[in-house]
C-alpha cells in the first residue's frame, strides 16, 4: 500500500464550541436561559452558563501554533486556528491532513457533558444538552456528510432521561455517546450498580458505542508540584488503565454481547501487559475474589467488547497480535497539543508499513467505520474520493504553516528558561479561576 492510498479515520478529536452553537436549536422561550459568549476586560472570550462563567473555551486548542507556544492556552477564538471551532475551516484542515472522518468530543461542556450536571435547574440543563446534540449532529456533522461521526452527550444525572435521549439521537443517525470513565467520581452510582442497567440495554440494542475519554472521571495525578510537567504529559493517556480494569469487570458485558466500549485517547502500548496481568490475576485470585467472566479469560472479554486508539504507538503496533487487530483504531487528537496535524497520515503510514494491507485498512478506518455504523464511503460517493491523496488535492490552498499567537513573556537580561513544572501549570489555571471569580463578582 502507498501513502496516497491510505484512508484515515480518527476516533478522537475535539470541538471548541462556537458562539453560534445554540442559535438554531432552542425555542423562543428557551433562548431566555440560553448560554452566551462574552468578552472580559482582558480580552478573553468565555461562555456564561446559568449565570456562571464556564472554564477555558479552548483548553489545549493549540494546533497550528509554534511549539514554543504550546504552554500558552488560548483565551479567545482569534487565538486559535479557526478549524478548532468552525466546521468549514475544520474540513479544510481535515483535507490538508488527509483525514476522511472524525469523531469529536466537546470542550467547554466537558468531554462527557458534565457541565450540565452542575445546573441547578435540570429542566433547563436537559434542554441545553439536547440543543448541543442537535447542533453537533445536524450542523457540525450534517454540514459535510461522511466527514464527522456523531457523538452525543447524555443527561446521566437522570437514567430515564438518558435512555430517552439515546433513543432520540439514534433516530437522528447517531450511534455513539460520551460517558464518564468513572461516574462515581461525578456523584453518580458506580458502573457496577444496577442503576445503569437501562443504559447498557439501550446501548446494546441500538448498537451505540460508549466512549470513555481520559480525564472524564479519573484524572492523571501530578507526582508533585515540583515535577516537570513532561512527567504528567507522559502518563496522561495511560491513566485510563484504572478505568479500563474497572470496565473490564462490568457484568453487563456478559449479558449484552453487542455492548461496545471505546477507550478514548489512551494509547495501545500498555495493553499487552494489561491483558496478560488481567488473565494472571483472574487465574491466581478468582478462588477467593469470586470474579466471573462467564467461563472466558479477561483478555477474551476485552477483545470482544473494547476498542482502543493511538496517535503514535510503534511499540503497540509491533505487539498487535497481543492486542487484536480488530480492536485498534487511529486518533488524530486535533486541536490538542499531542496532534501531529498536518502530518498525521505521513507519520502513521511510516508506523504501519510493515503490516499487511488488510491490517492497515482495519486500523486506519475499517474498525472505526464498522464500530460506529458509519458509511463514509457511501456518503462521499465512493472509496476513491476518501483517500489521503484525494482529500489533500482539495486542500492545496490551505496554509498549514505554524503561526505565533504571542508566545511566553520575553526573558529579562541574564534570565534563563527553567523546566516547566506541574506547579507552574496549576498556578496558571488557578490564576485564571481567580480572575473568573473576580470578573463574575464585578458583573454581578
Q: Say if residues 144 and 87 touch (Cβ distance below 8 Å).
A: yes
Q: Cβ(107)–Cβ(58) under 8 Å?
A: yes
Number of independent structural domains in the chain: 1
Is the Cα torsion angle 70, 76, 78, 84 positive or negative in sign?
A: positive
Taking the C-alpha atoms of residue 277 and residue 403, their distance in angstroms, rounded to an integer, is 45
- Residue in the structure block whose three cell numbers are 440495554: 201
Q: Which residues contact 294 (CB under 8 A, 6 or more apart)?
A: 254, 301
Query: Which residue is it, cell 507519520?
Result: 347
A 10 A CB-CB count for 440 gives: 15
Q: Measured between alpha carbons, how far is 128 from 49 in angstroms, rounded to an integer?
A: 10
For residue 135, give its domain range: 3-443
Q: Coil, strand or helix: which one is 326?
A: coil
pLDDT for position 443: 47
How confident is the model at residue 189, as a pLDDT?
A: 98
Instruction: Compute how many other C-beta atoms are within 10 angstroms of the C-beta atom of residue 438.
Output: 11
In this prediction, residue 282 carries a pLDDT of 98
Cell of 332: 488524530
Quote the pLDDT of residue 71.
83
pLDDT recorded at residue 414: 78
- The size of the chain, in residues, is 444
pLDDT attached to residue 41: 93
In the prediction, which pLDDT does 418 show?
84
| Residues 142 and 113 sit within 8 Å (Cβ to Cβ) | no
pLDDT of residue 436: 53
Query: Residue 91 is part of a domain; what is its CATH number?
Result: 3.20.20.140
Residue 263, phi then psi, degrees to nearest 5: -90, 100
**Residue 157 host element (H or E):** none
| Nearby residues of 187 by Cβ (< 8 Å), 6 or more positions away | 117
Question: Residue 329: beta bridge partners?
Answer: 309
- The most distant pair of C-alpha atoms in the chain lies apart, rounded to whole Å, by 69
- What pTM was computed for the model? 0.95
pLDDT value for 433: 54
Tell me what pLDDT residue 408 has.
74
Tell me which residue of 269, 268, 214 sits closest to 242, measured CA to CA: 214
How does pLDDT run along the chain (444 residues), one tens digit per residue? 999 999 999 999 999 999 999 999 999 999 999 999 999 998 999 999 999 999 889 889 999 999 999 988 899 999 999 999 999 999 999 999 999 999 999 999 999 999 999 999 999 999 999 999 999 999 999 999 999 999 999 999 999 999 999 999 999 999 999 999 999 999 999 999 999 999 999 999 999 999 999 999 998 999 999 999 999 999 999 999 999 999 999 999 999 999 999 999 999 999 999 999 999 999 999 999 999 999 999 999 999 999 999 999 999 999 999 999 999 999 999 999 999 999 999 999 999 999 999 999 999 999 999 999 999 999 999 999 999 999 999 999 999 999 998 777 777 777 778 899 999 988 877 765 555 555 444 544
Q: Are 104 and 15 in contact (CB under 8 A)?
A: yes
Query: Strands, DSSP E only, in 282-349?
Result: 306-310, 328-330
Question: In sequence order, what are the residues at sequence separation of 6 or more whose Cβ sits closer than 8 angstroms to the Cβ of residue 325?
Answer: 359, 362, 363
Of the CA atoms within 13 Å of residue 149, those in its CB half-sphere come to 31
d(CA 296, CA 302): 10
Amino acid at each position: 500500500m502507498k501513502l496516497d492510498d491510505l484512508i484515515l479515520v480518527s476516533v478522537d478529536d475535539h470541538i471548541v464550541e462556537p458562539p453560534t452553537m445554540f442559535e438554531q436549536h432552542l425555542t423562543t422561550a428557551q433562548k431566555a436561559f440560553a448560554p452566551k459568549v462574552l468578552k472580559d476586560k482582558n480580552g478573553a472570550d468565555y461562555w456564561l452558563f446559568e449565570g456562571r462563567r464556564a472554564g477555558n473555551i479552548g483548553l489545549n486548542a493549540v494546533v497550528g501554533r509554534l511549539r514554543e507556544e504550546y504552554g500558552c492556552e488560548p483565551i479567545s477564538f482569534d487565538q486559535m486556528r479557526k478549524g478548532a471551532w468552525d466546521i468549514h475551516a475544520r474540513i479544510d484542515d481535515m483535507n490538508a491532513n488527509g483525514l476522511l472522518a472524525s469523531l469529536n468530543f466537546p470542550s467547554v461542556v466537558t468531554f462527557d457533558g458534565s457541565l450540565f450536571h452542575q445546573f441547578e435547574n435540570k429542566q433547563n440543563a436537559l434542554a441545553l444538552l439536547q440543543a448541543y446534540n442537535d447542533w453537533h449532529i445536524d450542523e457540525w456533522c450534517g454540514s459535510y456528510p461522511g466527514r464527522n461521526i456523531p457523538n452525543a452527550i447524555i443527561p446521566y444525572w437522570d437514567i430515564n432521561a438518558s435512555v430517552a435521549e439515546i433513543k432520540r439521537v439514534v433516530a437522528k443517525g447517531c450511534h455513539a455517546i460520551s460517558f464518564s470513565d468513572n461516574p462515581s467520581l461525578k456523584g453518580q452510582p458506580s458502573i457496577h450498580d444496577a442503576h445503569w442497567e437501562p443504559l447498557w440495554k439501550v446501548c446494546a440494542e441500538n448498537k451505540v458505542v460508549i466512549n470513555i475519554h481520559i480525564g472524564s472521571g479519573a484524572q492523571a495525578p501530578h507526582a508533585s508540584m515540583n515535577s516537570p510537567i513532561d512527567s504528567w504529559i507522559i502518563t496522561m493517556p495511560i491513566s485510563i488503565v484504572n478505568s479500563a480494569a474497572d470496565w473490564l469487570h462490568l457484568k453487563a458485558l456478559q449479558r449484552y454481547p453487542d455492548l461496545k466500549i471505546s477507550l478514548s485517547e489512551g494509547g495501545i502500548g500498555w495493553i499487552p501487559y494489561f491483558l496478560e496481568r488481567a488473565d494472571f490475576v483472574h487465574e491466581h485470585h478468582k478462588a477467593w475474589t469470586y470474579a466471573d467472566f462467564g467461563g472466558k479469560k479477561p483478555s477474551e472479554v476485552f477483545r470482544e467488547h473494547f476498542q482502543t486508539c493511538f496517535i503514535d504507538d510503534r511499540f503497540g503496533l509491533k505487539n498487535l497480535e497481543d492486542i487484536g487487530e480488530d480492536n485498534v483504531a487511529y486518533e488524530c487528537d486535533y486541536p490538542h497539543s499531542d496532534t501531529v496535524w498536518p502530518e498525521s497520515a505521513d507519520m502513521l503510514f511510516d508506523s504501519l508499513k510493515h503490516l499487511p494491507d488488510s491490517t492497515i485498512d482495519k486500523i486506519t478506518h475499517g474498525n472505526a467505520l464498522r464500530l460506529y455504523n458509519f458509511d463514509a464511503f457511501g456518503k462521499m460517493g465512493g472509496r476513491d474520493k476518501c483517500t489521503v491523496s484525494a482529500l489533500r488535492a482539495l486542500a492545496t490552498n490551505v496554509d498549514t504553516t505554524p503561526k505565533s499567537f504571542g508566545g511566553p513573556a520575553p526573558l529579562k537580561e541574564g534570565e534563563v528558561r527553567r523546566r516547566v513544572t506541574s506547579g507552574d501549570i496549576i498556578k496558571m489555571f488557578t490564576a485564571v479561576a481567580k480572575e473568573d471569580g473576580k470578573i463574575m463578582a464585578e458583573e454581578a
